[in-house]
Amino acid sequence: GQSLEQPSEVTAVEGAIVQINCTYQTSGFYGLSWYQQHDGGAPTFLSYNALDGLEETGRFSSFLSRSDSYGYLLLQELQMKDSASYFCAVILLRGSGNTGKLIFGQGTTLQVKP
């Protein structure tokens, strides 16, 4: 089977840096994505790691290590508007390609305090 684990809640202050971890147990996967969801809103895409290493997009960075079955999302210079839920998701692997099926973690609620 497949499962992804994330902390349920993280709290940080404005201007700080926070790291949200995602560990996974799957039979094989193709890549790791991160999504943000504000209360009552639709999930929005943040980043995708197809390869090991760090991907940087502005204040957000994402990291993947397949050997450690581990990834994380790093948010820098936190702002109040970053308060939201963050989900990691894996694209499952089938044969030489990917199924396209994305399995999501249960999400991490980030609360940014003044």
**60 in contact with other proteins (CB under 8 A):** no
**7 in contact with other proteins (CB under 8 A):** no
Residues facing residue 73 across a β-bridge = 20, 62
Q: Per CB under 8 A, which region of 18-26, 63-71, 74-82, 104-112 contacts other proteins?
A: 104-112
Q: Per CB under 8 A, which region of 15-23, 66-74, 76-84, 89-97 contacts other proteins?
A: 89-97
Strands of 1-114 (E only): list them: 3-5, 9-13, 18-25, 29-37, 44-49, 53-57, 60-65, 70-75, 84-94, 97-104, 108-113
Q: Are 100 and 30 in contact (CB under 8 A)?
A: no
**104 in contact with other proteins (CB under 8 A):** yes
Chain residues in the site for other proteins (CB under 8 A): 30-33, 35, 41-45, 48, 50, 87, 89, 91, 97-107
